[in-house]
């Protein structure tokens, strides 16, 4: 069976602990890793169409570099990767992404260390987690302040 791990990140925020954990888990599972960066459209803070296009182009460049760096870390240890950027409502974009692909064995939250338990109740991932077909894992530091 082909094993797949999905690392979901939000608004260009990446947790180094989650990335490390995803790499270690993928090695143990002999799995491919997919990175998904979700950016809420309002996070671009633009109102004009031309400005939005420019902002999305700049975002695509920044996230592309970020995903290339992450992928390189994984490729160095023999883990196949793929990466995607989705702009819009994060919850909707996550479900669209999942619907377009074969199932993942695990989804790792790769942005903040405080989801799902410590996140505000209204955070989209808290409601999305109940509908996922695979487990959602979060990674936090073992020692305070790390």
Q: How many domains does the chain have?
A: 1
Indicate which CATH number applies to the domain containing 81.
Answer: 3.40.50.620
**Residue at 28 is within a domain:** yes
Give the strand pairing for 32-39 and 136-137: unpaired
The pLDDT, as a whole number, for residue 35 is 98
**Residue at 44 is within a domain:** yes
Model pTM score? 0.84
pLDDT above 90 covers what percent of the chain? 60
Separation CA 78–CA 104 (nearest Å):
19
- With beta carbons less than 8 A apart as the criterion, state whether 81 and 32 touch: yes
Query: Which three-class secondary structure state does DSSP give residue 36?
Result: strand
**Residue at 94 is within a domain:** yes
Domain range holding 49?
A: 4-137
What tens digit of pLDDT does each residue of 67-94 get? 999 999 999 999 999 999 999 999 999 9
**Residue at 115 is within a domain:** yes
**Residue at 15 is within a domain:** yes
**Residue at 142 is within a domain:** no
Q: Does residue 135 register a pLDDT over 90? A: no
Q: Does residue 117 register a pLDDT over 80? A: no
What tens digit of pLDDT does each residue of 11-41 get? 999 999 999 999 999 999 999 999 999 998 7
The pLDDT, as a whole number, for residue 145 is 52
């Amino acid at each position: 069976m082909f094993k797949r791990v999905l690392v979901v990140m939000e608004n260009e925020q990446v947790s180094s602990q989650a990335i490390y954990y995803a790499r270690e888990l993928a090695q143990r599972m002999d799995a491919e890793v997919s990175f998904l960066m979700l950016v809420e459209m309002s996070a671009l803070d633009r109102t004009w169409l031309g400005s939005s296009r420019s902002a999305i182009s700049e975002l695509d460049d920044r996230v592309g570099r970020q995903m290339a760096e992450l992928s390189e870390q994984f490729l160095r240890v023999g883990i196949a990767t793929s990466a995607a950027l989705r702009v819009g409502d994060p919850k909707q974009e996550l479900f669209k992404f999942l619907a377009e692909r074969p199932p993942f064995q695990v989804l790792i939250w790769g942005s903040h260390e405080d989801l799902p338990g410590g996140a505000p109740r209204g955070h989209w991932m808290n409601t999305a987690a109940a509908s996922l077909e695979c487990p959602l894992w979060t990674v936090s530091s073992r020692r305070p302040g790390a």
